[in-house]
Homo-oligomer: A and B are copies of this chain.
Amino acid sequence: MLIVTHVAPDGDAIGSLLGVGWLLRSGRTLTLACADSVPVQLRSLPGAGEIVADPPAKTWDAVLALDASDTRRLGSPFRPAEYGSTPVINLDHHITNLFYGSLNYVDPSAAATAQIVVALHDAMGAPITREAAVCLLTGLVTDTLSFRTSNVTPSVMATAMRLMECGANLAEITERSLNHKPLNIMRLWGLTLSDLCLQGQVLWVRVTQDMRAKAGAPPDGDGSLVSYLINAPEAKVAAVFSEAVNGEIEIGIRARPGYDVSGLALSLGGGGHPQAAGCTIPGPLKAAEARVLPLLIAAAAMGAGNGTSQRDPQPK
Contacts and interface: CB of A to CB of B under 8 A. Distances in A.
B181 A231 contact: yes
What number of copies of this chain does the assembly contain?
2
Contacts of A192: 190
A80 to B, nearest CB: 37
Nearest to A308: B172
Nearest to A150: B171
Contacts of A235: 183
Given A147-B146, A172-B309, A190 B196 contact: yes
A229 interface: yes
A148 B174 contact: yes
A212 to B, nearest CB: 14
Contacts of A309: 172, 175-176
A194 interface: yes
A186 B232 contact: yes
A187 B181 contact: no
Interface string A216-254: 000000000000110111110000000000000000000
Contact of A180 (B146, B179, B190, B231): B231
A210 interface: no
A229 B203 CA distance: 23
Contact of A181 (B175, B181, B232): B232
Given A189-B190, A190-B193, A309-B176, A181 B148 contact: no
Interface stretch (A22-30, A54-62, A156-164, A277-285): A156-164
Contacts of A186: 193, 196, 228-229, 232
A223 to B, nearest CB: 9
Interface in A187-222: 187, 189-196, 198, 203
A190 B195 contact: yes
Contacts of A313: 179
B158 A161 contact: yes
Interface of A: 145-154, 157-158, 160-161, 164-165, 169-172, 174-176, 178-183, 186-187, 189-196, 198, 203, 228-229, 231-235, 257, 309-313
